[in-house]
Amino acid sequence: MSTKDYLEKDYYKALGVTKTAKPAEIKAAYRKLARKYHPDSNQGDAKAEARFKEISEAYSVLSDEKRRKEYDEARSLFGGGFRVPTGTRPGQGGFGGFDLGDIFGGAGDAAGGLGDLFGGVFNRGRTTAQNRPRRGADVETETTLSFGDAIDGTTVALRLTGEGPCPTCHGTGAKAGTVPRMCPSCQGTGQSSRNLGSFGISEPCKECRGRGLVVDDPCPACSGSGRAMSSRTIQARIPAGVADGQRIKLPAKGAPGERGGPAGDLYVRVHVKPHPVFGRSGSDLTVTVPVSFAELTLGAEVKVPSHRGAPVTVRIPPGTPNGRTFMVRGKGVRRKDGTSGNLLVTVEVMVPKDLNSKARSAIEDLREATAGQDPREELLERAKEA
């Protein structure tokens, strides 16, 4: 059987059943006809033999749910307007690789590459040697989250762009109103054979690039390739606590599989927008808090902001050095196990630019009172060490 057979032959008519016939009806019709036209009871009757082949072929397709669907789709897609290429001989080749054992065994895949050929027309636009399902490709994309959404987790809409059947020509590659014709070079098989001395090799047909079909009037949208970039939008759940630059795997959200194969995986590279106040270090949040010299020297209780919560009070003991980091437990990023990281508060002295006269004289008094203490004395001493 070839592509041409699918498009030219009316298998329903051959079995005398309707297009909506149930599998049992098809089986019963086939049995009745097969008995009548079987070569054993019609010795030497060429007409009966041809008829027997016809009904056997029809049954092999219509009794297989998958192939029946392909056949129906092919015929509705090409609308019966399929042009038979000149130079081919109708009735020839159609019965070629057909195995009667498969008809009687019932479950065989007699046509071999046929499903693949049609899979090719509808899916990828090229034939492969196997009829096996193929897993979809892994897809990589990226998304940018706000600082808070990265901490809390969120659902984002991801627009994925990938190659799929051209929507204008439904993947046939042919201009509207026309249909591809069977490749005359390979008779629709997509394969050509070459003899190399004593052995022959089979390779994809050059004429149709393995597709089995050639297009006379290419679809203007896809230039006849039958493929087009299309995009779809999916909703992806981003778990809580993702970090900037992290890659998240979303299983089976990648490209759809072919011929019933599983979908590929989707990898999402996450970018996190910086927060104006908070930083992140793993599951800890960081914040730098301005303090005055007096607060560090004399000690103080200072209010520091927490992320999405009320400010917390941090007690600064007297004599705290500038740049010291305090830890506020449990005010960081919530972890998977339900525990939370900490808030790391770093104090930073703010030096006032404008001083009122009272403050100015107080600082001048301080300078005077501490005149005997050189803050660099120790540094200068230690610099002398070898």
Q: Given the complex with Zn ion, which of 208 and 296 has the nearer CB atom?
A: 208
Tell me the HSE value of 73 on the side-chain side, using a 13 A CA sphere. Answer: 15
Concatenate the DSSP letters of all residues of 50-82 into one string: HHHHHHHHHHHHHTSHHHHHHHHHHHHHHTT-P
Nearer to Zn ion, 99 or 163 (CB): 163
Phi and psi at residue 43, to the nearest 5°: -50, 125
User: Which residue is associated with the tokens 């006269």?
Assistant: 357
How many whole angstroms separate alpha carbon 27 and alpha carbon 54? 15
Strand partners, 143: 270
Please report, for the chain, how many H helices and E strands are present, in that order: 11, 15
| C-alpha distance from residue 36 to each of 30, 32, 50, 204, 272 (Å) | 10, 6, 12, 41, 74
From residue 121, alpha-carbon distances to 4, 117, 132, 146, 352 in Å are: 13, 6, 15, 44, 75
Are 235 and 152 spatial neighbours (Cβ–Cβ below 8 Å)? no
Angle, helix 65-78 to helix 46-62, in steps of 10 degrees:
100
Residue with Cβ nearer Zn ion (138 or 207): 207
284 binding Zn ion? (CB under 5 A): no
**Coil, strand or helix at 150:** helix
Q: Report which DSSP code applies to 2.
A: -
Among the residue ranges 49-57, 126-134, 136-144, 160-168, the one whose residues contact Zn ion (CB under 5 A):
160-168
* Minimum gap (Å) between residue 181 Cβ and Zn ion: 11
**E strand map for 317-360:** 325-328, 343-349
Smaller CB separation from Zn ion, 208 or 242: 208
User: What are the φ/ψ torsions at residue 78 (nearest 5 degrees)?
Assistant: -90, -5
Verify binding: residue 205, Zn ion, rule CB under 5 A: yes
Is residue 208 within the footprint of Zn ion (CB under 5 A)? yes
**Per-residue contact track with Zn ion, 46 to 85, x per CB under 5 A?**
----------------------------------------
Single residue of 33, 151, 179, 183 touching Zn ion by CB under 5 A: 183
Interface residue with Zn ion, options 169, 242, 268, 302 (CB under 5 A): 169
CB of 212 to Zn ion, least distance (A): 6
Size of the site for Zn ion (CB under 5 A): 12
Q: Least distance from C-beta 187 to Zn ion, angstroms?
A: 8
Does 186 participate in binding Zn ion (rule CB under 5 A)? yes
CB of 9 to Zn ion, least distance (A): 21
Q: Applying CB under 5 A, which of residues 15, 114, 166, 316 lies at the interface with Zn ion?
A: 166
Figure out which of the listed residues 15, 26, 33, 222 binds Zn ion, where binding follows CB under 5 A.
Answer: 222
Beta carbon nearer to Zn ion, 119 or 341: 119
Which residue from 8, 72, 207, 217 is in contact with Zn ion, where contact means CB under 5 A? Answer: 207
- What character string, x for contact with Zn ion (CB under 5 A) and - otherwise, covers 108-147? ----------------------------------------
What residues make contact with Zn ion under the rule CB under 5 A? 166, 168-169, 183, 185-186, 205, 207-208, 219, 221-222
